[in-house]
C-alpha cells in the first residue's frame, strides 16, 4: 500500500481513492471509499487496453458474468464501467496477504491449513464455474488469505485481456508456472484447466515451490506441457488429491465438488493459518483502519489555484503511517477481496451456542419483502423462533427458526448460496415453502425460514434475500437476548435426558434426537417422550381447567392427561420482557410429555420423568 500521487487522487466512477494497493501489466488497484461508505478495491485498467474495442467487449461480458459469482471464498464484484476512458472494476475490500506473500513470510502451510485452503478454493471455483466463467489465471498472487478463509480474486479478467491489440498474436495471458498444458499450448479451455492450476498452486503452498518451475519462462512452459510434476515434499495426507488435479487428461481431473468430497470433514479446532500469517492479516487490518482515519487525499486543483502544497502535506502524512506496508503490504494487482473486517466468518457466527443467545424477533422486524413490511408477532412464544407478518398478524407471514433441525433428505438444493452456505428448499403440499441452510459447525442444525399456505404476497420468492439479511446480521451485529446463564432458553435440552432414570421408568432408551434448539424427543422400550422449553405470557400459564396442580419436590407444576398421553410442566423463571401489554411478562416453561406404548397410566411415569429432567436443569428463580 502506497500513498497516492496527486494525479491518482481523481475519483474513479463513484469511488474516491485513498491509497495505491499495487500495479501490474493490466493496470493499477486502489483502496477506495464508495459513496455508501463501503471500502472497495478498484482496479483501473491500463489505457493501452482501452484503445482496443475487442477488449471492451470482452471486459463487458466478463464483468456481467463476474457479478453472478457470489460466495464465501470469492471476491464479490460491486460495480464496473467498461465504457470509461480507463475501464475499471470495483470489489468489496478485505485485508489479507496473497498466498505468495504468506508463503514467502511464513513458509509452507501445515496440513491442517492446507486442507482448509483446498476446501475453500474448491468452493470458490465451484462458484466461478457455476457462473459460466473460467478463471484462467489462478495463481498464488490471485488468492488472498483472510482471517476466515481464502479468497479467489480477479476471475474473468485474464479472458478479457486475451487477444488485445498490443499483445502478440497467439499470446496466452496467464502465469506460466500455473497454467494447464492445454492453456500453455493455446487450446480452448474448460473448467478443468482451473483444476490443474489449482493443483500447481497447492504444491507451492505445501512446499514453497511450484511443480513445474524452471530457470526461464520458456523452460517452465516446456515443463508444464512435457514433464511430470515435482511433488516431493507434499505431505502424504493431501498428495492424492493434488496429484488428481494435476492429471494430464482434463477429463481425469476432479470437479470442485469431487475435490471437496476428497477433503472430507474439516477439523474446526486450532488456528486457520500459522501465527506468522495471522500477524500479517492483523497488521494489514490495522493499516487499513489507519488510512481510513486520515483525511482523504484531494485530487489536484486546476493549476491557477496552486493547491498542490496542501495535497503534498496530506500525502506525506499518509506515507508516514503506512510504512509497514512496504514490507508487509497487501497483494499488488491481486488485492481485490470481499467483506468488511467487522463481519465474522459463518463458522464463528453460526454456532449452536451462539444462536441460543439471539433474539430471533429482532432479525427481520421492519424488513421489507416484496410489498410487505414484516413485523414481529407478540405471540411468538418460542425463544428461538419468531413469526413475522403484516402488522404482526397471522395472515401472510414468515417464520424464522434459529437452530432448526435440518433434514437434507426432505429438501433439495436451490443451487444458490448465502455466505457460502448451500440453500435447501422444500414446497409444502398445501402451499407455502421452507428454505434452510445448515450450520457449518453442526450440520444437523440450521437456520430455517418458512411461509405458510397463505402466500398472497409471494414471500417464497424473497426467502433467499431474507436469509441473507438474517445471516448478515448474525455475522455483523447480532441482537443478543439479555438472559442469565441459568435461563432454560440457553439449555441443551437433549443433555437433560437422563437415560438411566428413564430406563428404570420406561425401559432402555433407544434414541435421543433434538428437534430444534428448544426440544428433544426420546424413544424407549415401553414408551416415548418429549422434553421442551417454551415461553408463555404469565397471565395465561396454568389457566387450563383440565390441568391438575401438582408438586415436583418443592417446585409447583401442572399435569394434564389426554388420550393416552400425559404432560407435566413447570415454570423455570420469569422474563422481564412482555409478550403484549395486556398479557404481562413472559415466563419460561419446561414441559415433559410421555406416551406409553399401549394402554396404561401415562401420568405416573410422566411425573417420574419430569422429576428426573428437573434435577438436570440449572437452578432458577422460584
To 5 degrees, how large is the angle CA 315–CA 25–CA 32? 35
For residue 376, what pLDDT is reported? Answer: 85
Q: In what order do the strands lie in the sheet with 27-33?
A: 16-23, 27-33, 39-45, 88-92, 77-81
For residue 369, what pLDDT is reported? Answer: 81
**Rounded Cα distance, 236 and 216, in Å:** 30
From 234, 260, 276, the end of a domain falls on 276
- Is residue 298 one of the residues assigned to a domain? no
Same domain, 109 and 159: yes
- Is residue 158 one of the residues assigned to a domain? yes
Same domain, 472 and 496: no
CATH code at position 29: 1.10.510.10
Same domain, 253 and 218: yes
Cα dihedral 268, 270, 276, 280 sign: positive
Using 50 as the pLDDT threshold, list the residues of the chain that sit under it. Answer: 158, 160-173, 304-341, 392-394, 579, 622
Q: What is the DSSP letter of 395?
A: S
Of 24, 20, 26, whose CA–CA distance to 8 is shortest? 20
Burial class, 125, CB count within 10 angstroms (exposed 0-12 / middle 13-18 / buried 19+): buried
- Is residue 306 one of the residues assigned to a domain? no
- Is residue 384 one of the residues assigned to a domain? yes
Helix 256-263 and helix 111-130: axis angle, to 10°? Answer: 160
**CA 588 from centre of chain:** 32
Buried-exposed string 242-277: b where 16+ CB fall within 10 A, e elsewhere: bbbbbbeebeebbebeebbebbeeeeeeeebbbeeb
3-state secondary structure of 456: coil
Q: How far is CA 392 from CA 123, 153, 224, 377, 395, in A?
A: 39, 43, 63, 4, 9
From 253, 276, 299, the end of a domain falls on 276
Question: For residue 245, is it left (φ>0), alpha (ψ between -120 and 50) or beta?
Answer: alpha
- 292-313 tens-digit pLDDT: 888 777 776 655 444 444 444 4
Same domain, 498 and 437: no
φ, ψ for residue 477, nearest 5 deg: -145, 75
- Is residue 387 one of the residues assigned to a domain? yes
Going by C-beta distance under 8 Å and a sequence separation of 6 or more, which residues neighbour residue 77?
Answer: 63, 66, 67, 69, 89, 90, 91
**Residue 454 designated active-site:** no
3-state secondary structure of 96: coil
**Rounded Cα distance, 181 and 193, in Å:** 8
Is residue 401 within 8 A of residue 387, CB to CB? The reply is: no
Q: What is the DSSP letter of 165?
A: T
Same domain, 73 and 168: yes
**Rounded Cα distance, 612 and 620, in Å:** 16
Count the Cβ atoms, other than its own, within 10 Å of residue 306. Answer: 10
Of 363, 354, 396, 377, whose CA–CA distance to 535 is shortest? 377
Domain span at residue 586 reads 488-616
For residue 529, what is the enclosing H or E element? strand 527-537
**Rounded Cα distance, 514 and 518, in Å:** 8
**Rounded Cα distance, 123 and 132, in Å:** 15
Going by C-beta distance under 8 Å and a sequence separation of 6 or more, which residues neighbour residue 506?
Answer: 524, 525, 526, 527, 529, 594, 596, 605, 609
**Rounded Cα distance, 605 and 622, in Å:** 24
Structural domain count, the chain:
3
For residue 202, what pLDDT is reported? Answer: 97
Same domain, 504 and 422: no
Same domain, 437 and 553: no
**Rounded Cα distance, 590 and 555, in Å:** 12
For residue 386, the cross-strand partners are: 400
Helix 308-321 and helix 275-293: axis angle, to 10°? Answer: 160
Instruction: Tell me the chain's radius of gyration from C-alpha atoms.
Output: 29
Same domain, 446 and 504: no
Is residue 259 within 8 A of residue 245, CB to CB? The reply is: yes
- Is residue 304 one of the residues assigned to a domain? no
Query: From the candidates 81, 127, 137, 194, which is the catalytic residue?
Result: 137
Same domain, 496 and 433: no
- Is residue 296 one of the residues assigned to a domain? no
3-state secondary structure of 512: strand
φ, ψ for residue 535, nearest 5 deg: -120, 150
Amino acid at each position: 500500500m502506497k500513498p497516492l500521487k496527486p494525479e491518482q487522487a481523481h475519483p474513479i466512477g463513484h469511488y474516491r481513492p485513498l491509497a495505491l494497493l499495487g500495479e501490474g501489466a493490466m493496470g493499477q488497484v486502489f483502496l477506495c471509499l464508495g459513496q455508501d461508505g463501503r471500502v472497495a478495491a478498484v482496479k483501473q485498467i491500463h489505457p493501452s487496453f482501452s484503445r482496443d474495442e475487442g477488449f471492451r467487449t470482452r471486459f463487458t461480458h466478463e464483468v456481467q458474468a463476474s457479478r453472478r459469482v457470489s460466495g464465501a471464498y470469492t471476491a464479490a464484484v460491486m460495480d464496473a464501467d467498461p465504457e470509461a476512458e480507463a475501464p475499471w472494476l470495483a470489489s468489496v475490500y478485505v485485508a489479507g496477504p496473497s498466498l505468495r506473500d504468506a508463503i514467502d513470510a511464513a513458509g509452507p502451510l501445515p496440513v491442517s491449513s492446507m486442507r482448509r485452503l483446498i476446501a475453500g478454493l474448491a468452493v470458490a471455483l465451484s462458484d466461478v464455474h457455476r457462473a459460466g466463467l473460467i478463471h484462467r489465471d489462478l495463481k498464488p498472487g490471485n488468492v488472498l488469505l483472510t482471517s476466515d478463509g481464502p479468497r479467489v480474486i480477479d476471475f474473468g479478467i485474464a479472458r478479457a485481456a486475451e487477444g488485445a491489440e498490443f499483445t502478440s498474436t497467439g499470446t496466452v495471458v496467464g502465469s506460466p508456472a500455473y497454467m494447464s498444458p492445454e492453456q500453455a499450448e493455446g487450446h480452448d479451455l474448460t473448467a478443468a484447466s482451473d483444476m490443474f492450476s489449482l493443483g500447481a498452486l497447492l504444491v507451492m503452498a505445501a512446499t514453497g515451490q511450484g511443480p513445474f518451475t524452471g530457470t526461464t519462462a520458456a523452460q517452465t512452459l516446456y515443463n508444464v506441457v512435457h514433464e511430470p510434476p515435482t511433488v516431493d515434499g507434499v505431505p502424504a495426507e493431501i498428495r492424492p488429491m493434488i496429484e488428481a488435479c494435476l492429471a494430464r487428461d482434463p477429463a481425469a481431473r476432479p470437479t470442485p465438488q469431487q475435490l471437496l468430497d476428497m477433503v472430507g470433514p474439516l477439523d474446526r479446532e486450532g488456528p486457520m493459518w500459522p501465527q506468522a500469517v495471522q500477524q500479517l492479516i492483523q497488521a494489514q487490518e490495522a493499516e487499513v483502519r489507519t488510512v481510513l482515519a486520515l483525511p482523504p487525499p484531494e485530487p489536484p486543483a486546476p493549476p491557477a489555484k496552486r493547491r498542490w502544497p496542501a495535497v503534498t502535506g496530506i500525502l506525506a502524512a499518509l506515507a508516514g503511517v503506512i510504512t509497514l506496508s512496504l514490507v508487509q503490504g497487501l497483494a499488488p494487482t491481486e488485492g481485490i477481496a470481499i467483506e468488511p473486517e467487522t463481519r465474522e466468518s459463518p463458522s464463528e457466527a453460526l454456532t449452536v451456542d451462539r444462536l441460543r443467545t439471539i433474539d430471533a424477533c429482532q432479525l427481520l422486524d421492519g424488513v421489507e419483502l416484496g410489498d410487505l413490511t414484516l413485523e414481529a408477532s407478540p405471540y411468538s412464544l418460542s425463544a428461538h423462533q419468531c413469526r413475522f407478518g403484516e402488522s404482526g398478524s397471522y395472515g401472510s407471514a414468515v417464520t424464522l427458526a434459529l437452530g432448526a433441525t435440518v433434514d437434507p433428505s426432505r429438501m433439495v438444493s436451490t443451487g444458490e448460496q448465502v455466505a457460502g452456505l448451500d440453500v435447501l428448499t422444500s414446497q409444502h403440499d398445501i402451499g407455502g415453502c421452507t428454505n434452510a441452510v445448515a450450520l457449518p459447525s453442526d450440520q444437523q442444525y440450521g437456520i430455517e425460514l418458512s411461509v405458510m399456505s397463505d402466500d398472497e404476497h409471494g414471500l417464497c420468492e424473497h426467502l433467499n434475500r431474507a436469509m441473507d439479511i438474517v445471516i448478515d446480521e448474525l455475522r455483523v451485529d447480532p441482537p443478543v437476548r439479555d438472559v442469565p446463564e441459568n435461563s432454560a432458553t440457553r439449555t441443551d435440552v437433549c443433555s437433560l435426558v437422563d437415560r438411566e432414570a428413564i430406563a428404570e421408568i420406561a425401559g432402555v432408551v433407544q434414541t435421543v434426537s433434538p428437534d430444534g434448539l428448544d426440544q428433544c424427543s426420546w424413544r424407549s422400550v415401553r414408551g416415548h417422550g418429549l422434553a421442551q422449553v417454551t415461553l408463555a405470557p404469565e397471565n395465561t400459564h396454568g389457566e387450563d381447567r383440565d390441568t391438575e396442580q401438582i408438586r415436583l419436590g418443592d417446585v409447583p407444576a401442572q399435569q394434564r392427561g389426554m388420550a393416552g398421553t400425559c404432560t407435566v410442566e413447570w415454570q423455570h423463571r420469569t422474563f422481564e420482557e412482555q409478550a403484549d401489554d395486556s398479557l404481562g411478562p413472559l415466563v419460561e416453561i419446561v414441559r415433559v410429555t410421555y406416551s406409553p406404548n399401549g394402554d396404561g397410566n401415562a401420568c405416573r411415569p410422566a411425573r417420574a420423568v419430569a422429576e428426573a429432567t428437573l434435577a438436570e436443569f440449572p437452578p432458577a428463580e422460584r
